[in-house]
Structure 1
Amino acid sequence: MRHHLMLYAFVLLALVTVKSQADTIEVVTEDSLYAYLLDDKLVGPGIHITSDTLKNADLGDYHMALYPWARAYEMALREPNVLIFPLDRTPAREQLFKWVGEIHRSTSRLYKLRDAEPIRIGNLEEAKQYSIGVVRNDAKQIYLQDRGFKRLVVSADNHDNFQKLLNHQVQLVPMPENTARLMSQDAQMDFNLLEEVYALDEQPHRVYLAFSLNTPDETVAKAQRAFEQLKASGEVERIMKEKR
């Protein structure tokens, strides 16, 4: 009898452990102006906003990690209890995720190296003749692909993409100004060595926190309420204005 009780207790403990691990929220993001390592600590406005949201929602344990964007995106597509940011909310993605809240809006611009060959673009169609670096599974890649761009060079993350521009492997890269400034800073180069040649006003970025589809609706609802309260207090806007 005692043996059976011990066996039952062991199985119950194992089930509780598995459930606890399954309930842990995995927060995935990329190295960007929203999240980055500083003195071996994960920081940034996106980290701050996400942490405050999850704590205020009282959702228990969560784990945060940086990945190449393509890996983070695949995790959020396939796995349960995954929270991803900064994710552009686009029509193509609307039914792929459970959206928590908008943390930022921005416009991407096409940048070239100022000392490279002259490039003049009057409309989006004229940009098709140039090689353009994009990040795999990023909204900008999808946006340009859907509009018939054939000369796209795909990278795993923003840093690799930016390095291709510096190495003259691509002629243009699309990114918001604040990301371009961050990439320049990380590459230890003057931002003024870049030249903006076109603004992608047709595709404004609506940057969100979002859960994977297999996340319980109750979890999502709690996070949504916590985020709405944080945004209504002005804290989201204040955090986003913090300087790196």
Structure 2
Amino acid sequence: MFKRLCLLLASCTMLLVSSVFAAQAERPSLVLLTENFPPYNMAKNGKNFAQNQNLEGIAVDILRETFKRADIGYSMTLRFPWERIYNLALDNPGYGVFVTARVPEREKLFKWVGPIGPDDWVLLARANSPIDLNSLEQARQYRIGAYKGDVIALFLEKQGLTPVIVLRDQDNARKLLSGQIDLWATGDPAGQFLARQVGISGFKTVLRFNRAELYLALNKEVPDEVVVKLQTALDQLKAEGVVDKIRARYL
């Protein structure tokens, strides 16, 4: 009798464990990639590689709450360069990249969750610069620094400008300070944050020339029901004021 009871208990335990593993296997989990793009995403140590709890920022905190509300698993990795992580998300099922501008050229390449926040496109100059602009066309005569693979750089090239490209956007802060470039095409507030990360401040905005909304871009193979759950969760957090509170912590 005792032996039968032990066998029964063992069988029940195995069934319970199997059901737990099955439930975990059925729970969707996504690989989320990002870059240093303060105040939206950044490594706590300021480096170009970080994972999970070593990341912070507006978008990081919003997405943590969104995935928790939607009950969807995820991992977060911050790495460099942007072009690499963008292509990883584009090519690999179960991957996503954040934050990225949702522009017409990218619309059909991903499935989208957002918006997470705005990104004004600006031209920054040194504080003592005499440059005064009313249009992007007027900037054509100047050396403009931009970031490889970034939507702002691509936009400038489509307008017929030839920006000076770097692999890390904060390098443009150093180049602008030293006079290697006249203007820095970047996002607001990201550009000023990046400059402060490398100990530089005092740049002024001489032109605002576009505005984009920033999103989580998911590989097209991510199931629609997962995208809907995430979007619904994000919309709920906005309605409850959670997103505004997160932004207030950084801005």
The answer to whether TM tops 0.5 is yes
Specify the TM-score bucket, using the shorter chain as the normaliser: 0.7 to 0.9
Given the alignment of the two structures, is residue 149 of structure 1 paired with residue 161 of structure 2, yes or no? yes
**Matching residue of 1:54:** 67
Post-superposition offset of 1:217? 1.6
> C-alpha displacement at 1:80, in angstroms?
1.3
Superposed counterparts of 1:75-224, under 5 Å: 75-115=88-128, 118-150=130-162, 152-189=163-200, 191-192=201-202, 194-200=203-209, 203-224=210-231
Q: Which moved more, 1:107-116 or 1:24-33?
A: 107-116
What's the TM-score, normalizing by structure 1? 0.81
Which runs of 5 or more structure 1 residues have no equivalent in the other structure? 1-15
Inter-CA distance 230–144: structure 2 relative to 1 (3 Å threshold): same
Q: Distance in 2 between matches of 1:71 and 1:163?
A: 23
Matches within 5 A, 1:64-75: 64-68=76-80, 69-75=82-88
Render the CA deviation track for 1:143-194: whole Å, top value 9, x for unaligned.
Answer: 11111112x11222322332332333322112234223212321223x32x1
What whole-Å deviation, never above 9, does each CA across 1:54-84 have from its counterpart, x for those lacking one? Answer: 1111113x11111222222111211111222
Q: Secondary structure at the match of 1:122?
A: coil
- In the alignment, is the contact (CA less than 8 A) between 2:93 and 2:219 conserved in 1? yes
Structure 1 SS opposite 2:250? coil
* Equivalent residues of 2:145, 2:166 under 8 A apart: yes
Unaligned runs of 5+ residues in structure 2 are 1-20
Partner of 1:6: none
In 1, Cα distance between the equivalents of 2:174 and 2:77?
Answer: 23
Would the aligned equivalents of 1:70 and 1:156 in 2 still touch at CA under 8 Å?
no
Question: 1:63 corresponds to which letter in structure 2?
Answer: S
**What TM-score does the superposition give when structure 2 sets the normalisation length?**
0.79
Distance 1:181 1:161 in 2: 11
Alpha-carbon separation, structure 2, partners of 1:87 and 1:127: 25
Give, in whole Å, the separation in 1 of the partners of 2:228 and 2:144.
Answer: 39
Greater CA radius of gyration, 1 or 2? 2
Structure 1 position 27, deviation (Å): 0.9
Equivalence for 1:231: 238
Amino acid aligned to 1:163:
R
RMSD: 2.5
Instruction: Measure the CA separation in 2 of the matches of 1:26 and 1:169.
Output: 38
Query: Identity of counterpart residues, as a percentage?
Result: 33
> Is the contact made by 2:111 and 2:227 (CA closer than 8 Å) also made in structure 1?
yes
Say which structure, 1 or 2, has more relative contact order (CA 8 Å, 6+ apart). 1
Other-structure match for 1:13: none
Q: Which amino acid aligns with 1:214?
A: E
Partner AA of 2:30 in structure 1: I
